[in-house]
Structure 1
């Protein structure tokens, strides 16, 4: 690894922290928010052209480079926050990275230095990545299998992810991990043309079917779970699958016509999820009341992401405008222009991640990350990360407390 940058490219302005005024005080950014990021929070950035991975410490501005197996990797943080899954879909490989930060409720322990783990996943086109509790899954589009491992195995030398064969046809699939240890997984019966699956069944870790599909849809893409419910985007409606095998469809809003949610995001609120479609916008899905209500309606959304603690929703428009919403109330917390505009047809677009205090935006053309303070979005810092940043993930914990 190599330390390549030690200072921000511009200086933070501390003299005037202005919190945007709101008519409803419940909609304001919490007044005790710090002007600095947490000590044990990290960003991991992959590159489109080079094998390099960049680990960014937002508090200090320090950037350290590592060499992954391949470029253009997708990045995902595991449920515990300590590790990242690095998915090389076109190279049939999944590897893992360790931040070294282990959370213990009221403090963080440092377990060695940041480094790659020994665990590898070797499978055909690993695409969909999920992590809950100690468990890690990928869905392998190339043959319809799943790969399984535990976070506790990441540093076990010679260990590879196990293959779970549930008898599925190959397809562009997805899965969810329930709190009881079972998995909801898509299946394709070829009732519609194309690569999308039509059904969801529940299996155990050996691939045995526990509950068969109850509902056939006109195509599924995108899913999330709160441990009890798994929610899938579907052209026939929002497919809700319970851990006990029960299934139902929640209708889309009446003005959706042919639009449907191709992305489903988890929130910190049990039974509530975010559905996103570029054709309509972002909506809150409540599986307990079977309701779908708008958070922000627009056909110009470029990125739609839930915060690291899943309590807020950040939306970046092609115009460069950013909007932050509270997922408990759907209230707009703050908004403003944070980056330059991006043409809609652009192949490589800015990616965002957000914490309680900042939103981070990749800049593929300049090789930077823009760090924007949420309590004062005019306060921005550029951090250099190689030449062509591709994907970004948060690692570690929103804590600055030592042992």
Structure 2
């Protein structure tokens, strides 16, 4: 009897030890949320990936561009074709080492009515859009999202209508694109720096063949252009970083900033690091079949999703490919509504437009996936909230 008891005890100990040594599946942080909108309906879904719970809301229009604000708490919904910007509150507020739940998730009071709001930025405590319809900017403090009667103020930039962009510097000035008419089409050729009244404080010193895409770290703004990467400093200094000869006519038209690291992307050549110190452009993901690229919210990883359905994860600190694997079926280049991508430091999230779902992929194990039902035809998604499990 004693031998049997000893055997059972040892067996139980081995089982317990085995459980301790077996890696447990990683879950998403409790205070991460996904906001997902729809291509064909006004349905807006707020998803808590850790619990799988969803809340639904009615947006003003379908098919908005979604952006997370600087604080991580709010989102902006940019309805370009409807000339409107609205705001949304996740109801989560970061307090240093923990998160407070501030009431319920809901739309903010702050809105904007402007001519084709298109390019959006959230920096220095402000929400900013560039309005392609008339070349103006709309600016509002993020703190005013729930202020009674709050609206964006219009800022005249002295511009004509064009497909433009802007960036805010830490000193309160703005780098804004300028259309001088030397190149046909809607893309601008120059960048000037204006103050909060719209007055030019530093005129453009360089012209290029067309500008699209930009990012800023508060001290320098980086713009993609056909003639090279345009670097604009808050002091007004401007320079072009030439593209590698292998680019041919390709150019970086999407720019990301990740803790001082700038990344440029073009579907024609892939994703590249923009080295401001050495005026160089170096490959991170050389690939002509990238459907999407994205920086995760922690700004640790660059993700690339190919048309073939392969997800590639690059560590931005080491500039090395961590892992890659097939995660979704191949996507046709002729498909009208393609998947959208967002990511935290733990998971990638990919919309499945024809299935009404969002697919979650573990960045540690690309074969570990889970899907969440959202709206009928999910369009875009953005990550709200914070990467923590700590509450008050």
TM-score by length of 2: 0.93
Please say if 1:97 is aligned against 2:88.
yes
For residues 64 and 153 of structure 1, the distance between their equivalents in structure 2, rounded to whole angstroms, comes to 24
3-state SS of paired residue (1:46): strand
CA contact (8 A) 2:124 2:168 kept: no
Aligned residue runs from structure 1 range 269-280, under 5 A: 270=260, 272-280=261-269
Distance 1:18 1:337, change over 3 A: farther
Q: Which has the higher helix share?
A: 2
CA contact (8 A) 1:146 1:163 kept: yes
Runs of 4+ aligned residues of structure 1 deviating over 4 Å after TM superposition are 15-19
Aligned mate of 1:318, from 302, 307, 324: 307
The aligned residue for residue 4 of structure 2 is: none
Q: Which has the larger radius of gyration?
A: 2
The aligned residue for residue 346 of structure 2 is: 357
The aligned residue for residue 346 of structure 1 is: 335
The aligned residue for residue 377 of structure 1 is: 366
Distance 1:60 1:197, change over 3 A: same
The aligned residue for residue 392 of structure 1 is: 381
Q: Which protein has greater RCO, CA pairs closer than 8 Å, 6+ apart?
A: 1
The aligned residue for residue 287 of structure 2 is: 298
Unaligned runs of 5+ in 1: 1-14, 20-30
What is the CA-CA distance between 1:133 and the residue it aligns to? 2.8
CA contact (8 A) 1:358 1:372 kept: yes
Aligned mate of 2:214, from 223, 229, 244: 223
Unaligned runs of 5+ in 2: 1-17
For residues 301 and 69 of structure 1, the distance between their equivalents in structure 2, rounded to whole angstroms, comes to 32
For residues 355 and 65 of structure 1, the distance between their equivalents in structure 2, rounded to whole angstroms, comes to 22
Aligned mate of 2:255, from 258, 264, 268: 264
CA contact (8 A) 1:17 1:376 kept: no
Aligned residue runs from structure 1 range 48-197, under 5 A: 48-197=39-188
3-state SS of paired residue (2:246): helix
The aligned residue for residue 41 of structure 1 is: 32
For residues 379 and 102 of structure 1, the distance between their equivalents in structure 2, rounded to whole angstroms, comes to 30
Q: CA RMSD in A?
A: 1.7
For residues 365 and 37 of structure 1, the distance between their equivalents in structure 2, rounded to whole angstroms, comes to 25
For residues 144 and 71 of structure 2, the distance between their equivalents in structure 1, rounded to whole angstroms, comes to 14
3-state SS of paired residue (2:81): helix
CA contact (8 A) 1:315 1:322 kept: yes
Distance 1:110 1:300, change over 3 A: same
For residues 293 and 228 of structure 2, the distance between their equivalents in structure 1, rounded to whole angstroms, comes to 20
TM-score by length of 1: 0.91
CA contact (8 A) 2:37 2:375 kept: no
For residues 242 and 100 of structure 2, the distance between their equivalents in structure 1, rounded to whole angstroms, comes to 46
3-state SS of paired residue (1:90): helix
